[in-house]
Structure 1
Amino acid sequence: MNLSRQPPSATLVLQALLTQGPLTRAELGRRTGLSSGAVTKVSAPLLDDGWITELGPAGDRQPGRPATLVAVRPERAGFIGIKITSDELIGMLVDLTAAPLATRRAPLRSRDVGTVVRAVAQLVGALRGQGARGAGESGPAVHSVGVTVSGDVDGPGGTVRYSPFLDWHGVRLAALVEEATGIATVIDNDVRALTVAEQWFGAGVGLSSFALVTVGAGVGCGISLHGRVVSGAYGVSGELGHLPVSGTERVCTCGNTGCVEAVASTQAIVDQVREQTGDGTLSLSGAVRLARSGDAAAREVFTRAGRALGLGIASVANLIGPERVIISGEGVAAYDLFSDEIRRTFADQAFGAAAGCELLVRPLPFEAWARGGAAMAAHRLLAPLPGGYGGAARH
Structure 2
Amino acid sequence: MAATRPQRAPITSPAAATVFSTVLTQGPVSRVEVGRRTGLSSAAVTKAARPFIDAGYLEELASEERSGPGAGRPRSPLAIRADREFFIGVKITGDDLIGVVCDLRARVRATRHRALTSTAVPDVVAALAALVAELAAPYRDRAYCLGVAVSGDVDQVGGVVRYSPFLRWRDVPLGDLLAEATGLTVRLENDVKALAVAEQWFGEGIGVSSFALVTVGAGIGCALVVDGRLVTGARGVAGELGHVPVGGSQPCHCGGTGCVEAIASTGAIVARSGLPIDEAVARARAGDEAVRAVFAEAGHAIGLALAAMANLIGPERVVLSGEGLDAYDLVDEHVRAAFTAQAFGSVAECALIIRPLPFEEWARGAAAVSIQALFRP
Aligned counterpart for 2:41 among listed residues 29, 32, 35: 35
Amino acid at match of 1:121: A
Shift in CA distance, 315/64, structure 1 to aligned 2, threshold 3 Å: closer
CA distance in 2, matches of 1:353, 1:196: 26
Using structure 2 for the length normalisation, give the TM-score: 0.94
- The question of whether the paired residues in 2 share the 8 Å contact of 1:82 and 1:374 is answered with yes
Q: What is the rounded CA distance, in whole Å, between the counterparts of 2:32 and 2:96 in structure 1?
A: 48
Aligned match of 1:98: 106
Report the Cα distance in structure 1 between the residues aligned to 2:246 and 2:171, rounded to whole angstroms: 29
Q: 1:257 to 1:22 in 2, by over 3 A?
A: same
Q: Which amino acid aligns with 1:234?
A: R
Give the SS at the match of 2:60.
strand
Of 305, 315, 325, which aligns to 2:318? 325
Cα 1:329/1:64, change in 2 over 3 Å: closer
1:308 Cα deviation from its structure 2 partner = 0.7
**CA apart distance, 1:58:** 2.1
1:241-296 Cα offsets, whole Å, 9 max, x none, are 000111x211112121111000100011000001xxxxxxx311011112122222
Cα deviation per residue 1:322-341 (whole Å; 9 max; x = unaligned)?
11111111111111111111
Q: Where does residue 245 of structure 1 map in the other structure?
A: 246
Amino acid at match of 1:160: V
The yes-or-no answer on 1:71 pairing with 2:79 is: yes
Does residue 341 of the first structure (1) align with residue 313 of the second (2)? Answer: no
What amino acid maps onto 2:188 in structure 1?
Answer: I
Residues 30 and 286 of structure 1: CA distance in aligned 2, closer, same or farther (over 3 Å): same
Structure 2 equivalent of residue 108 of structure 1: 116
Q: CA 1:305 to 1:37, structure 2 compared with 1: closer, same or farther past 3 Å?
A: same
Contact 2:318 2:353 in 1 (8 A): yes
- Counterpart contact for 1:76–1:140, Cα < 8 Å: no
Deviations 1:133-164 (A, max 9, x none): xxxxxx87112111000000011111100000
Shift in Å at residue 206 of structure 1? 1.8
Matches for 1:289-300 after TM superposition, within 5 Å: 289-300=282-293
CA RMSD in angstroms comes to 1.5
What one-letter code is carried by the residue in structure 2 that aligns with 1:357? C
Residue ranges of structure 1 left out of the alignment (5+ in a row): 133-138, 275-281, 385-395
Change (3 A) 1:140 1:318: farther
Report the alpha carbon displacement of residue 74 of structure 1 after superposing the two structures with TM. Answer: 0.7
**Matches of 2:172 and 2:28, distance apart in 1:** 41
Question: Could you tell me which residue of structure 2 aligns to residue 174 of structure 1?
Answer: 175
| Number of matched pairs | 369
Q: How big is the shift at 1:41? A: 2.1
CA distance in 1, matches of 2:362, 2:310: 23
Which runs of 5 or more residues in structure 2 are unaligned?
Answer: 1-6
301, 312, 320: which is aligned to 1:308? 301
Q: Percent identity, aligned pairs only?
A: 53
Q: How does 1:195-274 map to 2 (within 5 A)?
A: 195-246=196-247, 248-274=248-274
**SS of equivalent to 2:254:** coil
Instruction: Supply the AA of the counterpart residue of 2:183.
Output: G
Q: Which amino acid aligns with 1:69?
A: P
Partner of 1:392: none
Partner residue of 1:58? 64
Structure 1 length-normalised TM: 0.90
Opposite residue 60 of structure 1, the aligned amino acid is: R
Matched-pair contact (CA < 8 Å) for 2:10–2:55: no
For residues 100 and 222 of structure 1, the distance between their equivalents in structure 2, rounded to whole angstroms, comes to 22
Partner of 1:9: 15
Whether 2:99 is the aligned partner of 1:88: answer no
Aligned residues of 2:59 and 2:79 also touching (Cα < 8 A)? yes
Q: Which moved more, 1:116-125 or 1:65-74?
A: 65-74
3-state SS, counterpart of residue 61 of structure 2:
strand
Greater alpha carbon shift after TM alignment, 367-376 vs 20-29: 20-29
